[in-house]
Amino acid sequence: MAKTNIQEELRLLHTIPPVFNQNSKILILGSFPSVKSREAEFFYGHKQNRFWKVLATLLNERISENTDEKKQLLLTNGIALWDVIKSCTITGSSDSSIKNVVPNDIDPILQTANISQIFTNGSTADRLYKKHIYPFTQMEAIKLPSTSPANAAFTLDKLLREWSVILKYL
């Protein structure tokens, strides 16, 4: 029998807790943690993902190196962070393979913080937010281009231009 490089489709549970406090003003929602993020046990753990670089640049902060610094960057600047999906079936890190979605309950964030705007990081997060969470929150989300390295069409400069909208709400 020949060996294959086909990744197995797995049902996974999101185990990274949300980052927020009573001072959070905006909520950024991704879709589901990548393989690298699951290994790092924190959001946007792939070294090529531009999320932390985009945020640090927009906020005039240095790029955080570890999880505690990243949490501090978010909380100091009024940013809550989580993902739309609580559990799903996924192959590797491929958003396009996501099926059987169970959404996260973002109500604890909305009850604790005075969130004025929700943002989604990429098309998958936006589509799944609209389908699974918007019916309960009735809060429109602003779709931002994905910071994933798979979104090669967006240079860092283009991401910074698009993501700068968050500054209006902080």
| Residue-level pLDDT at 24 | 98
Annotated catalytic, 49?
yes
Q: Choosing from 5, 21, 49, 114, which is the catalytic residue? A: 49
| Residue-level pLDDT at 95 | 86
Q: What are phi and psi of 36, to 5 degrees?
A: -65, -40
CA angle 62, 80, 11 (to 5 degrees): 105
Which residues of the chain are under the pLDDT cut of 50? 1-5
Q: 78-123 pLDDT, tens per residue?
A: 999 999 999 999 988 888 899 999 999 999 999 999 999 999 999 9
pTM of the model as a whole: 0.93
| Residue-level pLDDT at 5 | 47
The CB-based long-range contact list for 47-51 (8 Å cut-off, 24+ gap) reads: 48/149, 49/147, 49/148, 49/149, 50/147, 50/149, 50/156, 50/159, 51/121, 51/147
